[in-house]
Structure 1
Amino acid sequence: MTVSANWYDYPQYFDLVFRDENDDEVAFFKKAFEEHSKIPVKRLFEPGCGGGRLIVDMAAEGYEMTGLDISKPSLQYLKKRLKRRGLSAELIHGDMTSFQLEEPVDAAFCTFNTFRHLLTEEEAVKHLFSVASAIRPGGLYILGFHIIPLDADEECTERWKAKHSSTVVSVTLTVRNFNREARRESMRATLTAKRHAKKDGVSKVVKTIRCQTDFDLRLYTVPQVEAMLAKVELFEIAEIYDFDYDIETPRDLDDDLTDALFVLRRV
């Protein structure tokens, strides 16, 4: 049986493809809290949490978690995952650009380009102010997204593949349109999930789900990042890293930095 759908309706497959990143990210978060936070870190917040792969793993580490996302299917999936693991988190259905938490948190994180879904400078700055208002002074916001160099290949395709139990998932991410002047990158994500079952000792595909989703991301150069962060006086840059998640190897904010991981500290 084949089902065609929007990939945002199947967060379990997105999480499966990128679950190999979890251990490195969790280890980095914990080291960054020790290295750069001026306050003890216990309560965490993830805006744009999606299916919650990091919410679950950080909750398992003993942190008190709050997650926010605009996708109801993602939050419903996350709620079930937490229940299966015997974990808890506060889950909020809402917009990344405008929210208020009932209680302040000690740190927040948003990685893997979620931030670039905010398509205007106004939205990006509103988001940063909202997050800053939710963090106690001295706490951190770990923000990861790609910076696009001036010589970037405008025709780019990336592929990932993962397997868990009887399910094999593959994802292809393709740039459909690249407009540096408009600071817009139009993407197409194609996901295929195949579930296998054995019959008479032979593994066969019993269900296939194909998802194709188009979306836009905002483009950033180094000067554009610097100009944006300068507008948010509630944050200072504590340190900069990349997607290697190596706390021993900080990076400079220069043209060689493409996979940027900013550790912002609330002043």
Structure 2
Amino acid sequence: MPSSTRAVTQSPPKRKSASTPRKQSASATIDWYDRPQYFDMVFRDETTAEMAFFDEAYQRYATGTVSRVYEPGCGSGRLVAASAARGYDVIGLDNNDAMLAYLRRRLQRRKLSANLINGDMTTHVCSPQIDAAFCTFNTFRHMLDEDSAVSHLQSVADSLRPGGIYILGFHCIPMDADPDCTERWKAAHGGTQISVTLKVIDFQRRKRRETLRVSIKATKRNGVVERLRSEFPLRIYTPKQAFDLLASVDDVFEIVSVHDFDYEIDEHREMDNDLTDALFVLRKR
């Protein structure tokens, strides 16, 4: 899901003349995860900053050389492809066939290679072991209970060699946060313009769950308009709940640095209640 920090905005498309009306088609129930090209456009502009952070974090925080990396919940694979282009040996795991098919085509177009796996990020263990892993932009919050979250962290730890690092990013929601939240932003690529609205439609603090609705209007180069709507739950973490979760796996991970979604390697964040866009660097003991 998208970050609440930097919205991607592009200039609106030029208006067509009255003599060439737009073609339209409506698909209001398609899951946005089944349209990887739109999902990818939402996050595309973040890739450069993320990869620069990863490269620097590998050098600063991992012991030894990082050459083999892993992304659980890789989605459309922009970070898998970017890592492969930098020469890393990459493993990408997701449980959505449409996402993985899109990523395979992307790698083929760019003459890149990666090991792509359809699997469960709560249980998958990489073999041979990896040097680093990364999972950003709230993918982690799709694991809706404590057992799943801990199982995922343990599986990543089992995948890492000692001294390897896991870069984990997700939103924390303070106790005084407004549960009514709507975000809007735009993006464009390859002649397609998209407008995205994300709205919290259900918020249950005691159950630690919020439900989000993502609505997308995609206007293609040929004027065809496609509309998508998708709803999905995410687990809620306050900063303290996030810290407590990571403390529960401190036998396998140590927190070596905390940042935010600005991806500034020299800007460190305190582990306090003001931490909302949390980016943890965990090192395998």
Residue aligning to 2:73: 48
Residue aligning to 2:58: 33
State how far apart, in whole Å, the 2-side matches of 1:157 and 1:184 are.
17
Residue aligning to 2:204: 179
TM-superposed deviation, 1:196: 2.4
Which of 20, 42, 46 is residue 17 of structure 1 equivalent to?
42
**Structure-2 change in CA distance of 1:79 and 1:160 (3 Å):** same
Residue aligning to 2:276: 258
Residue aligning to 1:219: 236
State how far apart, in whole Å, the 1-side matches of 2:159 and 2:217 are.
37
User: Where does structure 1 lack aligned partners over 5 or more consecutive residues?
Assistant: 198-204
Letter in 1 for 2:246: L
Which of 108, 124, 133 is residue 149 of structure 2 equivalent to?
124
Q: Would you say the 8 A contact 1:17–1:170 is kept in 2?
A: no
TM normalised by structure 1 equals 0.95
Q: Would you say the 8 A contact 2:240–2:273 is kept in 1?
A: no
1:235 aligns with 2:253: yes
Letter in 1 for 2:268: P
Q: Would you say the 8 A contact 2:211–2:231 is kept in 1?
A: yes
CA deviations 1:139-166 (Å, max 9, x no partner) are 1000000010111111001122111132
Letter in 1 for 2:40: D
TM normalised by structure 2 equals 0.89
Q: Which runs of 4+ in 1 moved over 2 A?
A: none
Which of 115, 122, 143 is residue 140 of structure 2 equivalent to?
115
Residue aligning to 2:25: 2
State how far apart, in whole Å, the 1-side matches of 2:216 and 2:156 are.
31
Alignment of 1:88-103 (within 5 A): 88-103=113-128
Q: Would you say the 8 A contact 1:157–1:175 is kept in 2?
A: yes
TM-superposed deviation, 1:8: 1.1
Secondary structure, counterpart of 1:102 in structure 2: coil
TM-superposed deviation, 1:3: 4.2
Q: Would you say the 8 A contact 1:240–1:252 is kept in 2?
A: yes
Which of 153, 167, 178 is residue 192 of structure 2 equivalent to?
167
1:246 aligns with 2:264: yes
Q: Would you say the 8 A contact 2:199–2:213 is kept in 1?
A: yes
CA deviations 1:209-265 (Å, max 9, x no partner) are 211111000001122112211221211001000001001111111011100000000
Q: CA RMSD in A?
A: 0.9
1:67 aligns with 2:122: no
Corresponding pairs, count: 259
State how far apart, in whole Å, the 2-side matches of 1:32 and 1:170 are.
33
Identity %: 54
Letter in 2 for 1:29: F
1:144 aligns with 2:169: yes
TM-superposed deviation, 1:193: 1.1
Letter in 1 for 2:128: E
State how far apart, in whole Å, the 1-side matches of 2:239 and 2:167 are.
17
Greater displacement, 23-32 / 159-168: 159-168
